[in-house]
Each structure stands twice: as structure tokens, then as C-alpha cells.
Amino acid sequence: MTLGDTTQTLQMPSVSIHGSHLPTPASQLERLFPGSGARLHAKLDQLQLSGSTKERTARFLLDELVHSGALLPGGTVVESTSGNLGMALARQCTLRGYTFIAVVDERANGAATRTMEAFGARVDEVKTPADGNRLRARVERVQQLLAEIPGAVTTNQYGSLANPSAHATTTMPELVASLGAPPDHLYVAMSTTGTLLGCQQAIESAGWSTRLVGVDAEGSALFGGSMGERKLPGLGAGFETDLSHEAHPSVVHRVSEADMIRGCRLLARREGILAGASTGAIVAAIGRDLPSLARGTSVAMLVHDGGSAYLPTVYNDAWVRSEIPDAEHVLAGTATPNPFVEQA
């Protein structure tokens, strides 16, 4: 093939596509759990420009505020975030000409907050309150800022119906189109529960029989969970969100941070996919369920975000040894075909 032939073959018109989310592919995972018999698929939403599926959420949340007339040109947007939504909102606000204030806590990922600042956001950090409920402290700070800043609005990711709408109309339809049919089982990580609720809405609307599995962190208050200390951001919540009252997963798996780390490292070393802690939790949840799944069962999962921001924690042996109980067992957890069954 000549250079001219190659150029003709690779012609792609340059159009502006970076103002919103991008459709992402699903890929079959053939090495993650060898010999399992299930057909595993991952929707690669870490390929979004801000690095996570929250790119979709940010677009829909902002569009709703604009369409309602609440967000005016040049206005200020305030939101509580542990990282991913903040990066997506910071990126999209700078494109649209809005000021963005991200309210974070002391557990926020440093790489995420620096990314927000790189996009022009102001980062407002709250201290951990006496009761340890960082999420509630962030939400209260959002309300304070709204009262102080004339015309400021919040995207209200915990209660806005635009959050699940993003996933009912884009995430789930894209996944089914990629697979050619709805999966038998879909695993979704939960924080606001917007992604899970959106997938649920799409499944119910289409009449699909997909079993929806919610993946939560140990120490999260969602769906009757008991509050506890959590070191890794992005999974779980400090209170039951408004959206969670409408979500009805078939089952909820609560995953320890040790298993999140095992899941992340397993996915990286077997499939070459560097993902964040919430995706590691999904890997662990699937691993637990695999022995009960019939051969040929179609299992899909969302790769909610990339793992670069977790290099100082999840992928750092020294951090794991200092912060995670039974660290040596965690670090050795990729040596067996399915560590989430064999450790039981």
C-alpha cells in the first residue's frame, strides 16, 4: 500500500466532537477470569475526555440547568464532588463559559483536584467533621456558597433526574448496540446511584431481562448500609441519595477496599486496563458471582474511570501496606485464577 492509499484509507473529517461525551466501545475480556465459562464484556468509559463516565452526567446536568433557565450565560456552577464529576464539570464549564466551584473533602484525589484547577475550576476543600460524614459536609458547603454567590446554581447530582437520564439515553443503549443484545447481567458501581438508575430505566423501558447488580463500598450508607471509614473516593455515599430511593438493583454487593485493590490490579495485569477503585470493586463482585453463573452467560460491566489518578494509592505497594489491613495478602491477590472465590 502506498502512502497515498494509506492517507485515503484513513481519511477522517475533523469536526468538533469534544464539547460533550463520546460514544465508547465495549470490549470482550478474555483473560480476566480464565476458564470461567462466562462471556465478560467491559464498556470502556474511561476513554471519555475527562477520563470517566461522569462526562455524560456533566453534560446532561448542565443542559438541564440551561434549559430550565436557572443557569445564565457566564454564571457560576457549584457542586460537591469526590473527583470524576468535578473534572467533567470543570472541562465542560470552561468550554461553555461558566465559572465552576468544586467542593471537595480531604479524601479527594489530588490528581483529580489538580485537573479541575487546570480546567480553570476553583477547588473549595471542607475539613472532615466530627461525625466523619464528609459527603454531608460537602453538601452543606454547597448550600453556603449558593447563598453567598449571586445567581450561583448547583447541578445537584444526588437528586437531579438529568443524572440517570444521561445513562438511560446513552450509556445503556450504546452497550446493547455494542453487544448486539442486552447482557444477562450488568454490574454498575454506585455513588449517587444515577448511573445505576439510568441503566435500570433503560432496561425497564425496553423490557429487557438483564439482571442489574449494584456494587457498593463497605462503609457506605446506600441501601441500608452501615456507615464506616472509607479511604478510597468515588464509590459509596455517606447518606441515601434522593436518586437511590428510585433505584432497585436485583442485588447489592458491598466490597472491601482490599478487594477493590485486588480487582484493579487483576484488570491491569490480565487485561491491560488501568481502572479506578470503583471498577476494581466491580471486578471483585463479578469474581464472587462467577461460580454460580451458567457457562455462556453474558456479563457486562462499566469501566467507570481510568486508574492514573489512583497510582499513588491503589497501585502503590507502599500505600497499600500502610493503609490496608492484611496488605501482603492483598498484594499477592493476583496469583490465583479467581482470588475472590479462593480467599473465602
Going from the N-terminus, what domains does the chain have, and what CATH number goes with each? 22-49+161-327 (3.40.50.1100), 54-154 (3.40.50.1100)
Q: What is the pLDDT along the chain (344 residues), one digit of tens a residue?
A: 455 555 555 666 777 888 889 999 999 999 999 999 999 999 999 999 999 999 999 999 999 999 999 999 999 999 999 899 999 999 999 999 999 999 999 988 899 999 999 999 999 999 999 888 899 999 999 999 999 999 999 999 999 999 999 999 999 999 999 999 999 999 999 999 999 999 999 999 999 999 999 999 999 999 999 988 889 988 999 899 999 999 999 999 999 999 999 999 999 999 999 999 999 999 999 999 999 999 999 999 999 999 999 999 999 999 999 999 989 989 987 889 999 996 43
Selection from 157, 224, 162, 160 nearest residue 191 by Cα? 157
H/E segment holding residue 318: helix 317-323
- The pLDDT, as a whole number, for residue 9 is 59
CA distance 19 to 91: 9
pTM given for the model: 0.94
Tell me the backbone φ, ψ of residue 185, rounded to 5 degrees.
Answer: -135, 140
- The pLDDT, as a whole number, for residue 255 is 98
- The pLDDT, as a whole number, for residue 325 is 92
Parallel, antiparallel, or unpaired for β 76-80 and 39-44? unpaired
Which residues have C-beta within 8 Å of that of residue 165, sequence separation ≥ 6?
60, 198, 201
C-alpha cell at 306: 481510568
- The pLDDT, as a whole number, for residue 324 is 95
